[in-house]
């Protein structure tokens, strides 16, 4: 229909608002449109978004409890192919079929999840529902990039986030250092709320005693999973990050086998994943994160961890917040090791923003 693209665009504008708020499922927006017999008069009558915990899904929410009228026609628009795996509750495709009134479904893109991947579309067609797809815009593609990585490559999309002084340092040696201004901090907290997980090395937790939450009014509850790499599992449980693990999910990757050492963290509701030394590598850590639903991962340092991701080329985007002062001789480098030939990595400058006296550069891998 000539108006399909308009409704997909409306769904896209809502989609942008719910990024990072549907973990462990991808964000989806679904719109139910009611039309007269000739599709000349059309109006939105229901909106569904993926629920906060990931379920029920958007299509289900758009249809559920809606009172369809016999003399009207209904089209369901969705930003992703409706799912068709009945298991944890009724699938969206079954819900659409059971509604008996939705006779057209329009969606932006096929869901690469192997349980769906075109099967949702086929099942709708088999049930005499008219299906139209292929409305993947640049905006939707950008939003689902992490999800596509997760389902196709079994790893999240990785964003590195650094705050540096003008001379490129990320801290004063062995000191918690405030690098950027309040607005940049707020921007970063907003960024966190759009992610499924944040990852840091154990030394950043020790030195900065950081909380890693999204401290913006109303967004705290969208604090993503906080992930710490700590092979020895020797972090002090009195650090701030361990004070609120009931509220904000926290996960440590370790090589530590001692149950005694683990118990004190488990008591605080910290999840622990133990990998034996030969399996403790970035590839397995990312695979594990993807398997629990992490599609977008923000890596917040410190230097050893940045080095690890850079060295292994496991990153897709970089956010660099640059302040307006020098640190000089006491500076702590953003990366710890000599990085072999980073110059081969092609980066594309996506955006540059002025945030007060700070500058934010957003780079992406080509």
Least Å distance between CB 299 and ligand NAP?
A: 9
Q: What share of the chain is helix, strand, coil (3-state, %, to 5)?
A: 30, 25, 45
Least Å distance between CB 20 and ligand NAP?
A: 20
Strand partners, 47: 31
Decide if 84 contacts 76 (C-beta within 8 A).
no
Nearer to ligand NAP, 101 or 321 (CB): 321
Nearer to ligand NAP, 58 or 310 (CB): 310
Least Å distance between CB 152 and ligand NAP?
A: 25
* Cα–Cα distance, 319 to 251 (Å, whole number): 23
Q: Cα separations (Å) of 136 from 59, 201, 310?
A: 18, 37, 30
Q: Cα separations (Å) of 4 from 29, 108, 142?
A: 14, 10, 21
Least Å distance between CB 147 and ligand NAP?
A: 26
Give the CA dihedral 9, 77, 297, 89, nearest 10 degrees: 160
- Provide CB contacts within 8 A for 34, sequence distance 6+: 42, 43, 44, 45, 69, 72, 73, 74
The enclosing H or E element of 24 equals: none
Chain residues binding ligand NAP by CB under 6 A are 162-163, 170-171, 176-177, 179, 200-204, 207-208, 229-232, 300-305, 308, 332, 336
Q: Cα separations (Å) of 244 from 191, 234, 250, 349?
A: 20, 19, 9, 37
Least Å distance between CB 151 and ligand NAP?
A: 25
* Token code pair at residue 313: 């080329």
Q: Is 220 considered catalytic here?
A: no
Q: Cα separations (Å) of 120 from 28, 126, 131, 296?
A: 15, 10, 10, 25
* Cα–Cα distance, 321 to 362 (Å, whole number): 9
Least Å distance between CB 362 and ligand NAP?
A: 15
Strand partners, 332: 171
Nearer to ligand NAP, 204 or 296 (CB): 204
Exactly one of 34, 59, 81, 300 is catalytic; which is it? 59
Q: Which residues belong to the active site?
A: 59
């Amino acid at each position: 229909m000539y108006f399909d693209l308009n409704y997909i665009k409306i769904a896209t504008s809502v989609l942008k608002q719910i990024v990072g708020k549907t973990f462990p499922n991808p964000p989806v927006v679904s719109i139910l449109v009611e039309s007269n017999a000739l599709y000349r008069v059309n109006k939105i009558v229901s909106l569904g978004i993926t629920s906060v915990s990931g379920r029920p899904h958007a299509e289900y929410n758009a249809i559920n409890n809606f009172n369809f009228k016999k003399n009207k026609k209904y089209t369901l628009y969705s930003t992703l192919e409706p799912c068709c795996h009945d298991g944890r509750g009724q699938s969206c495709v079954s819900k659409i079929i059971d509604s008996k009134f939705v006779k057209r479904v329009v969606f932006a893109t096929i869901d690469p999840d192997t349980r769906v991947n075109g099967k949702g579309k086929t099942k709708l067609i088999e049930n005499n529902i008219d299906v139209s797809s292929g409305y993947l815009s640049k905006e939707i593609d950008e939003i689902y990039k992490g999800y596509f990585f997760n389902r196709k490559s079994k790893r999240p999309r990785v964003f590195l986030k650094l705050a540096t002084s003008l001379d490129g340092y990320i801290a004063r040696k062995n000191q918690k250092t405030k690098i950027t201004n309040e607005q940049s901090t707020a921007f970063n907290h907003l960024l966190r709320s759009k992610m499924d997980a944040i990852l840091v090395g154990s030394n950043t937790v020790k030195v900065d005693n950081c909380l890693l939450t999204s401290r913006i009014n109303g967004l705290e509850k969208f604090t993503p999973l906080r992930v710490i790499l700590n092979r020895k599992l020797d972090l002090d449980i009195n650090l701030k990050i361990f004070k609120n693990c009931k509220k904000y999910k926290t996960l440590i990757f370790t090589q530590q086998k001692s149950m005694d050492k683990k118990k004190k963290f488990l008591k605080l509701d910290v999840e622990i994943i133990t990998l034996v030394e030969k399996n403790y590598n970035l590839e397995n850590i990312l695979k594990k994160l993807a398997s629990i639903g992490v599609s977008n991962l923000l890596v917040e340092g410190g230097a050893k961890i940045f080095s690890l991701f850079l060295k292994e080329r496991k990153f897709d985007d970089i956010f660099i917040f640059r302040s307006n002062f020098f640190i000089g001789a006491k500076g702590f480098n953003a990366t710890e090791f000599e990085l072999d030939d980073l110059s081969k990595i092609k980066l594309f400058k996506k955006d540059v923003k002025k945030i007060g006296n700070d500058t934010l550069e957003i780079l992406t891998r080509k």
